Amino acid sequence: MPMYEYCCNKCGAQFEEIVSSSATTTPACPKCASGDTKKLMSACRTRTGAGQTGARTATSSGGGCSGCAGGNCASCH
């Protein structure tokens, strides 16, 4: 089964998870146990979706990955 990289929208942690190709949900964050995670395609460059409530979105001028709250995602900054 393939291994994917995920980024936590809450604490900005990145982790790898082996998931089934048929899986439609993302795994929970191993750090904060939040289910608010997303799959990374190549780098942490995804944007926070419009429908995510409570997520601290980075300002449009903020650097790095908007999904990693506060831009503390090491690999995207």
Q: What is the rounded distance in angstroms from the CA atom of residue 16 to the CA atom of residue 7?
A: 9
End-to-end alpha-carbon separation of the chain, Å? 30
Residue 66 identity: S
Residue 63 identity: G
Q: How far is the CB of 11 from Zn ion (least distance, A)?
A: 3
Q: For residue 23, report the phi and psi dihedrals to the nearest 5 degrees.
A: -65, 140
Q: How far is the CB of 34 from Zn ion (least distance, A)?
A: 5
Q: How far is the CB of 64 from Zn ion (least distance, A)?
A: 16
Q: Is 75 helix (H, G, I), strand (E, B) or coil?
A: helix
Q: Considering the complex, state which of residue 31 and residue 45 has its C-beta at the smaller distance from Zn ion.
A: 31
Q: Considering the complex, state which of residue 11 and residue 40 has its C-beta at the smaller distance from Zn ion.
A: 11
Residues that bind Zn ion in the complex, under the rule CB under 5 A: 8, 10-11, 13, 29, 31-32, 34
Q: Considering the complex, state which of residue 31 and residue 47 has its C-beta at the smaller distance from Zn ion.
A: 31
